[in-house]
Amino acid sequence: MPEKNPAALEFLLTRRSRPAKTLITPVPNRDELVPILTAAARTPDHGKLEPWRFIVMEKPALERLAGIARTRGDALELDPDRIAKGVDQFANGNLVVAVIEIIKPTDKVPALELTYSAGAVCLAMLNAALASGWGANWLSGWPSHDRGFMTDALGLAEDERVAGFIHIGTEKSAPSDRPRPDLENITQWLSE
C-alpha cells in the first residue's frame, strides 16, 4: 500500500478558493511565488510538450490591462456591467498569474489533452497558492476569450490563449463555505 499523506488529503478535502475581490496586499514576492509556479509546472503533461506558460502581472501591469479591457469592451459594444466586471478583475488585483495555453499541433497527443493539461496547471497553481497560506482565485471572464485583449494586453501569439487568471494575495475576509456536489448524484460505480 502506498504511503499516506493525511495532511495533503485533508487540505484537498477542505480547500476552497478565496474570492479575488477579498484579496489584498501583501502578495507573494518572487521568491515566494517560485515554489507555487514550480508546483503548477509539475502538472501531468502527456508527451512532455509543456503546452502552457506563465505571465506574472504585478499592480502596474494590472492597471494597464484594466485600461485595455475597458477599450476592448467598448469596441465590442459589451453591456456596461459586463465591461466593468472585466475591468475590475485587473483594476482591483495586486498579483495575477496568467496561465497561457500554447496550442502545439502533434500527432502524438490529442489537442484536447493539451487543453486539459493547461486547465490542470490552473488548478495546481491555485492549490499551491492556497497550500502556501495565500488566498487565491482562478478567474477567466470575457477578456480571456477576446483575441483582441489577448493580443493587445498580453502580446499572445495566434497559437496561444488564456487558460485562466490566478489571483493571489492576502485574504481580508472569508465568506462562508458554499454547498458542494452531492457525491451520490455524480458518481457511478461499475463492478463488472
131-175 tens-digit pLDDT? 999 999 999 999 999 999 999 999 999 999 999 999 999 999 877
Write down the pLDDT at residue 86: 97
| H helix or E strand, kind and range, residue 30 | helix 30-40
Query: What b/e readout covers 5-15, taking b as 16+ CB neighbours within 10 angstroms?
Result: eeeeeeeeeee
42 is in an annotated binding site: yes
117 is in an annotated binding site: no
Residue 189 identity (one-letter amino acid):
W
Write down the pLDDT at residue 133: 96
Phi/psi zone of residue 133: left (φ > 0), alpha (ψ -120 to 50 degrees), beta? Answer: left
17 is in an annotated binding site: yes
Name the CATH superfamily housing domain 19-167.
Answer: NADH Oxidase (3.40.109.10)
Write down the pLDDT at residue 105: 87
Distances (CA, A) of 71 to 59, 74, 149, 156, 163: 19, 5, 9, 18, 22
176 is in an annotated binding site: no
Do the beta carbons of residue 105 and residue 1 sit within 8 Å?
A: no
- Cis, peptide link before residue 2, omega less than 30° from 0: no
Residue 172 identity (one-letter amino acid):
K
pTM for this one? 0.94
DSSP annotation string for 43-66: S--TTS---EEEEEEEHHHHHHHH
142 is in an annotated binding site: no
Q: Where are the domains of the chain?
A: 19-167
DSSP annotation string for 133-181: T-EEEEE--GGGG-HHHHHHHH---TTEEEEEEEEEEEES--PPPPP--
Residues of the chain with pLDDT under 50: none
Write down the pLDDT at residue 162: 98
Write down the pLDDT at residue 177: 85
Write down the pLDDT at residue 166: 98
What does the alpha-carbon distance between residue 104 and residue 87 come to, in Å, rounded to a whole number?
Answer: 30
What does the alpha-carbon distance between residue 121 and residue 87 come to, in Å, rounded to a whole number?
Answer: 24
